[in-house]
Amino acid sequence: NSRREKPPPWHYSPQMCGGPTTGASAQTPLDRARSMSRPRRIRSRLKGARHDIESLDYDIDASSVFEQELQRQPDHVRRQIAVGRWAVCLAVGLCTGTTAFILDHMGALVLKARWALATKAGRLAGDLAGDSRAAAFTGAMAAFMVSSVVLVACAALLVIYVEPVAGGSGIPEVK
């Protein structure tokens, strides 16, 4: 009495899709794709593409097509391209450094303003409670936490309504 094991839920079978159960056409799409050669698969997907090139590398430094094109150019053109790339790199570095400096300075100003608000709230709460240190601490902590919630809410509203794309981590862009 042999029991047949049930296939996993991701298993594809022709019977599930109403296809034939035997013969050459009973192959799954994955089996048919595996039986094709790699260049044929690429050619079948890319209509109108060059068939003498199997694929182009995405990393331009490792691309043989890019290297061939670079070798065809005269020396002065290659030097101009290299100088232009370094100029763009310098400009991006300067802009990034300036932006980082401004953001750091603004962050310090916001923190200083939050501490000033917490100090004033602590003094006010302490004065209202008759010079109670516990009330002063509670007032200062409450003001600091409320300011944090307000800043987080502003950031969340900007991401949600102004620029939803900013909600990602940015890791894929850095890679």
Alpha-carbon dihedral sign for residues 101, 102, 103, 108: positive
Rounded distance, CA 70 to CA 72, Å? 5
pLDDT of residue 43: 47
pLDDT of residue 56: 52
Digit-by-digit pLDDT tens for the chain (175 residues) are 455 566 555 554 555 554 555 555 555 555 655 555 454 444 455 555 555 655 555 566 667 777 888 788 888 988 998 899 999 999 999 999 999 999 999 999 999 999 999 999 999 998 888 878 899 999 999 999 999 999 999 999 999 999 888 887 777 766 6
Cα–Cα–Cα angle for 90, 94, 99, rounded to 5 degrees: 150
pLDDT at 73: 85
Do residues 126 and 132 lie in contact, with contact meaning Cβ atoms separated by under 8 Å? yes
Q: What is the pTM of this model?
A: 0.51
Q: Nearest Cα to 110, choosing from 139, 142, 151?
A: 151
User: Which residues make Cβ contacts (< 8 Å) with residue 13, sequence separation at least 6?
Assistant: 7, 28
Two tokens, residue 147: 């300011």
